[in-house]
Every structure is written in structure tokens, then in C-alpha cells.
Amino acid sequence: MIENYFEKQQKGNLVIRNIGTIVSGDIKKGIIKNADTIVIRNGLIAAIGKEADLDYSDIQLEVDANRQVVIPGLIDAHLHNTLDDYAPQRGAVGCYSDALLYGTTTMISEGEQGPGYPRFYNDAIGVKATAIMAARVFQKFRPGGALKMHGGALVLVDGLKEADFKEMSEAGVWLIAEIGGGGLSDPEKVIPMVEWARKYGFFISCHLAPPSIPGSSWVTSEDILKIQPDKIAHFNGGSTGVSYNHIERLIEESTAGLELVVNGNFVNFNRVLQDLKKIDGLHRINFGSDAPTGQSALQAAINLAIVKASCLNGIPAETAIAMATGNTADLYGLNTGKIEVGREADIAVIDAPPGSVGIDALKAIEAGDPFGASLVVVDGEIAGFRGKDSRPTARYCLIQGKEARLQTITEHLFFPATPATYRY
């Protein structure tokens, strides 16, 4: 009789052993030394260390990482999502689920958009209703069955009052969509709303870019310094870059998190990293996709941002990974993004592609090769084995002693194995 071990496992209990390298996701700690095993209980990381020193006899499900690299699940800090796993601008279905299979386990909204959405019509009642609806939807709905979507980013428009922010906060809304990406951006109108938002615990984002789509607006460095957001979205351009003097001023005079998007201005992307590297400021960097618009339709956007940041700027791979994980978690106050006891067990096992000059995922990244995810875990439960059409990995994980390998090119390109389909 063929058994399905996923049906038998205790929820959120898992051990990952025989790990080659553990990347902490903490930009200050880098790689965790003297550890080859992670024990997960009840969806949280319970222990990290040498296998011989850890007791996991109570855990039924075991993954052998086959000496691959383990990292925290990646975080995409910039999505324009709908209320489902759908991108109407591109007519694409399942794009967030695909990103999960590449290793992105958390996404953060910068304002929901779709045909007829109130954000495009200066509709105060509508944007409030959309934010509440989206926040509530993604409290229950996880794309791909596992991905954590922080939805419900409020677009600021005329007519919003302090009482609206209080009501939205009580309903679970905590994000202000990038100011300048739609809706209001004039500091005289925006600042009173930002003050209300801060009073009720909202996270404030503001974009830096020339107008890119109808409804977006030019927000200068001077405006941003007046607004004082928590994060500056697509700091390198979304996708058009600003004159670099604006960037230099904000690096020097602002303390905000600085988001880079892989499809933004390429020169600014690298120059920002090089300048921050000189002043020990890379902890301010986080990555976003600005998806799923046509120019940012990459399920592997965060993976590619890591490779681009590392290989083109002489930045160690583990530092670039921290920009896509722990930096973002710290900025938003999320209990994920790091391999650390007590954190949510959102984890990706990654490897170099076959034939890479890099002996493992970290060396491959530093050499410029995109990496693949051979296993993705969310809250201690296996969410997928291989990304659909993602980079192949040189090695595979073993689950309950059996190699979790895709067998055919058709399976690789179109039908990746998931816990619902994979049996032992």
C-alpha cells in the first residue's frame, strides 16, 4: 500500500537535516555556523544546530536537504494584487502560486488594482471598502495553498477622514499604498492623512519615480522628506529612474527603507547598492517586484534581484539574500524572514543549476547563475518541491528517504509536484 506521509504528518512539525549551509537572513549574522539541522514544531522554528545534538524523535516527517543551501522564504515587498490569484492587466492566472514555487513565501500589497477598482476614481468610500475587503480576503486565502499575502493597502484619495483610518485599523488594514502610485500625492493633502495613519499603526510607503501610468504622479525627494514614509518604493525607478541627486539626498537625509525592483532602472539599482555598501547601509535595502504589471511579470523577480545585487556588485550571496528576507521582515515587523528560533518556519531549500561553476547556490549566485528551489516550506509544512519552469537544481531533497525528483520535462515545465500530488 502506498502511503501519503503528508496526510500523516503532525501539522507544522518537520525536521530538515543534512543541510550544507544555513543562511540566517539576518544581514548582521550571515551564515549560521556549526549547524546542519532545523527542527520545526507547530509551524515555528524550534531548534537549529548539529543533528547529533538535537532531539526530534517526536517528529514523523523528515527532509534530507542533500547538502543544499537553506534560506528563509523570500519576501516580495511590492505587489499590485487583485482579490484572487489573478493579474487582470496580463490576463494571467496563478502568478502568485507560481512565485511560491520559486521560493517567495510572503508578498506585501502596494495597492490592489483591477478593472473598475475605486482607486482609479478618487472614490473614498470605494478605496476604504477595497482595503478592508482585501485585508479580510487574504487573512483566509493563501495563493498556492500557502503563500502569505498581506493585502489591503489603502490608496489615499480625497474625502478620507480620521474616523476612516480608525475603522480600517480595527478591521485589520495596516498598509498605506505607495503615495504617488495613484490617488493623492501633494504633501499638503497627504500629510494630515499620514498623521492619522501613523496614529492607528499604519505602515507608510511612498514611491520615487516619474509618472509611469495614468494616475501616478511625480514625487520629489523634497516631498518624500516632508512625508517621511517608512519605505521608499522602487527607489531605483519604477521603471523609469530619477536623477541620481534625488537618490543621494534621500540616502543622506532619510531613514526610510529603500526598495529596489529588478525591472527598475538598472544603473540606479547597482549604483545604490555600491553607495550603500561603502557606508555600511545595506540593511536599508529590500526587494520588490512591482508585479504583476506587464513590465514586472516575473514570478522569479526576487530570485533575480538577489542574483543581480550579488554578482554585479561584489556583495556576498548571503547578504543579498538578507535584503530579500530579514531586511524586509525587520522593516515591516514580520515574524518571518529569518532562520531563527521562534520565527515562522518559512523556508526554501535552494541549489545551483546543473553545470554551474558555483559548487552550491551561494557560489552560483555570486557567479551570476539564477538558482532554483528544490523545496519550499511555509509554517513548517511542505508547499512545493520545484518551481514550475524555474531553474533546475543540481541536487534534490529526500523526503522520508525518497528523492523528490521531477521525472520528465513536461512535469518540470507544467506540472510541478505538490503535497497534494506527490505520494511515496
- SS3 string, 199-221, reads HCCCEEEEECCCCCCCCCCCCCH
130 and 169 in a single domain? The answer is: yes
Residue where a domain terminates, one of 297, 332, 367: 332
125 and 202 in a single domain? The answer is: yes
Closest CA to 412 of 383, 360, 362, 373: 373
275: pLDDT strictly greater than 50: yes
Check which CATH number belongs to the domain holding 214 and give it. Answer: 3.20.20.140
Mean per-residue pLDDT, 359-383: 96
pLDDT band at residue 297 using 50, 70 and 90 as cut-offs: low
191 and 82 in a single domain? The answer is: yes
Structural domains of the chain, count: 2
- pLDDT, the chain, mean: 91
What pLDDT score was predicted for residue 174? Answer: 98
**More confidently predicted of 399 and 118:** 399
pLDDT band at residue 386 using 50, 70 and 90 as cut-offs: confident
87 and 124 in a single domain? The answer is: yes
pLDDT band at residue 418 using 50, 70 and 90 as cut-offs: low
Q: Compute, in degrees rounded to 10, the torsion defined by CA atoms 38, 23, 144, 140.
A: 80
pLDDT band at residue 1 using 50, 70 and 90 as cut-offs: very low
Type of residue at 383: A
The whole domain housing 129 covers 74-332
What pLDDT score was predicted for residue 219? Answer: 83
Each residue of 28-47: pLDDT tens digit?
A: 999 999 999 999 999 999 99
pLDDT band at residue 387 using 50, 70 and 90 as cut-offs: confident
2: pLDDT strictly greater than 60: no
50 and 81 in a single domain? The answer is: no
101 and 246 in a single domain? The answer is: yes
**86 in any annotated domain:** yes
* Rounded Cα–Cα distance for residues 377 and 311 (Å): 26
Tell me which of 15-24, 93-102, 199-208 is least confident.
93-102
What pLDDT score was predicted for residue 422? Answer: 56
**302 in any annotated domain:** yes
pLDDT band at residue 408 using 50, 70 and 90 as cut-offs: confident
181: pLDDT strictly greater than 50: yes
258: pLDDT strictly greater than 80: yes
pLDDT band at residue 249 using 50, 70 and 90 as cut-offs: very high
* Rounded Cα–Cα distance for residues 216 and 266 (Å): 21
160: pLDDT strictly greater than 80: yes
153 and 245 in a single domain? The answer is: yes
**420 in any annotated domain:** no
